[in-house]
Chains A and B, each alone.
Chain A
Amino acid sequence: MNIHEDLKAYLDGELDPRRAAEVRAAIEADPELQAEIDMLKKIGSSLSAHSGGPVTGKEAVLAGLKQKPTRRPRWTLPSYQLAAVAGCVLVVATIFPVFTQAKQASPRTAALAVKHLAEIENKAVEKDAGREAEAPAYSSAELKSDRAQGLIGKGEERTQAADMPVIVDRDIIRNSTMTLESESVTKCLDQASALVTSLGGYMESKNFSRTEDGGGTATAVAKVPTDQYSTAFAKLHDLGKVLSESESSDDVTKKTTALRAQSAYLNKKLANLQRQYRNASRRERADILWRIEEVKDELGGTKTNLKNLTNAAAMSTIVLTIEEVKKVGLHEGSDNWSGNVVNSAMNNFKIAAQLLGAVCINVLAFAPFWLPVALFIWWRGRRPSASA
C-alpha cells in the first residue's frame, strides 16, 4: 500500500494502530516523508486558522426554542399512522362543510337579494317622496351564518343595503315586429336604415330576396336605444303601408336589481374573505383561498348575467318586413302579354283536365256502390217490355 496515501490519515489519527506504527516508522526513516508531513500540517493549520468567524441568528433560534418547548409524543409506535388518519379526518371535516356551503351559496345569495328587492323598491319610493329612507336590515338565517363566520360584519348588512342601487328607471326589454308594403322595397329598406342610424341605433341584419312573380321582400332586424324606441316605431309607419304589427315587452327590473344586490353582497363577502386571508394562519389560508375562488366565480357569473340583461334592456329590437306592392292587369309585363295569355290558358286547361281526371277516378272508385243500383234500375226498366 502506498505510504503517501496514508500520511494525511496518520496525521488525523484515523489509521488503525498497526498501520499507524508502520507509517510512523516510515516517516522516521525517510526525511522526504517527514517534509511531506510538515507540509500537510502547515496546510491543515492554515485552513483551521480560518475555520471561525462571526455567527448570526443563534439567539433567535434559542429564543424560538424557549417559546415553543417540544413535547415527547405519547404514541411512539403508530404515531405516523395515527397522524395520517387524523389528517384525513381533518381534511374531510374541513372541506365538506365548505363544499356544501359553497354549493348552497348561489341560491342563498340570490334568495337573499330577491328578498330585499321589495325593501329596496320601498326605499326608492320613500326617496322619491322626499323622505329619508332607512335601509333594510338583513335578518335571514343565512346572513346570520355569514355573520357568524365573519364574512358579513355587524352593521355591514345595512351598509350593503345602502350600497344597493335605488330603482328609478325600470329595465324593460322591448321587442316588436312590423310588416310594411311599399312600392320599392330597396328604397324603403334604405330609408329604414337611415332612420334607425339617425336615432343612435343600428341594423343588426338585413336580407332582401326577389320572388318568382318579380316582386321583392326584405327583412331587417333593427336595434334602437330604448329611449328612442317609440320615435323609431312611429317613424317606421310612415315608410309604407302597415300590413301588420305587434309589440311585446319584458320588465326585467326585478331581475337586474336582484343581480345588482347579489353582486354587492358578493363584493362585500369577497372583501371580508380577503381580510380574513391576510390575518389567517398558514393552515387556514388554503380553505379561505378556496372560498375566495368560489365567491369570485359566483361574482363573475352574476356580473355577466347582469350585463346581458342591461344590454338587452338598453337596446330595443324591431323586426321589420317590407313587401313590394303587387301589380295587377295585363299592363304588367306588357312586353310578354301573349306569352302570359298562353300560359294562363294552359294553366286553365291543366286545371280542367285535373278536375275531369278526379271525377273519373271517383266514379271508378265508388263503382261497387252505384253500379249494382244502376244495373238493377236498368233491369227493372227492361222487364215490362219483355213481358209485353
Chain B
Amino acid sequence: MKQRRRRIYPIEENCMGCRLCEVACATEHSAFKDPLVAFFEELPQSFTTVEVDRHISFSLSCRHCDEPYCVEACITGAMHQEQDGRVLVYEELCIGCFMCVASCPWGAVNPKRTEKKAAKCDLCPDREIPACVAACPNRALVYDVAQELTYRIEEEEEPFVEG
C-alpha cells in the first residue's frame, strides 16, 4: 500500500464549538496570513466548518477519502488524488462545474468565494501540522496517520448516479 499522509480527525467529545479552526483555516489560506487583513481586506474562506447541534459539535473538513467521490465526479481531472492520499484541486484544470461540490457526502468541497473554482482542504502544504489542528485549544482536532477510510453510502442515500 502506498504511504499515506496523515489525516485530520475531529474528536467530538473535545470540541467546544469555538470556531477557532475556521479562523485559522481562513487566515492560513489568505494572501497575508494575518487574521485582521484576511477578514477585513479579503474574502475569507474556511475549508473546515464547525457543525453544532446542541450538545454535539465537531469541525468538519475534507476527509481525504481513500475512494473520493469528488475525484470520481470530476470531468476534467482537476480534482486529483495524490500518491500520498491527499485530494487536491488543480485550479488551472477546474472549470467550475461543481460536480465535486454536489458529490461530496460531507459538504467539504465548496465553490471558491473569489472565483468560479472548487476549493477544499489542502492539509496546509506550507505547514508541518495544519493550521486548524494547531489552533484548536482543546485538542479536538488530531493530525494522525490514518487507518483505511472508505466510506460507503447506503443505496437510497446515494447523492449522484455515475455515468
A binds B: no
